[in-house]
Amino acid sequence: MENNQHSPVERFTPLQRENRTHVTTASAAFHLSRKEQTLRFWACLENGPIRPIRVNGRLAWPVAEIKRVLGVQ
């Protein structure tokens, strides 16, 4: 691996240490062990276990809901 590349585990803050209220689709997908496109599908159809908010055309996923779905405190 080149020096400028990080493994996914290094790229994302662990949920227990996350201090933001919402995270990106990439981060949410990593924590939920789903593909980013799956989360976009949930957002589009509004049928997933988590509903994102939209900020300037981008999806923001609530950390509290990710923790709830995963059973993390």
What are the residue ranges spanned by the domains of the chain? 18-70
- pTM confidence score: 0.84
- CATH class of residue range 18-70: mainly alpha
Choose among 69, 8, 31: nearest CA to 23: 31
Tens of pLDDT, residue by residue over 30-64, are 999 999 999 999 999 999 999 999 999 999 999 99
What is the pLDDT, as a whole number, of residue 9?
Answer: 60
Mean pLDDT of 5-22: 82
Q: Which of 48, 20, 55 is nearest to 32 (CA)?
A: 48
Question: What pLDDT is stored for residue 7 in this prediction?
Answer: 57
Euclidean distance between CA atoms 5 and 46, whole angstroms: 34
- Residues 21 and 28: beta-carbon distance below 8 Å: no
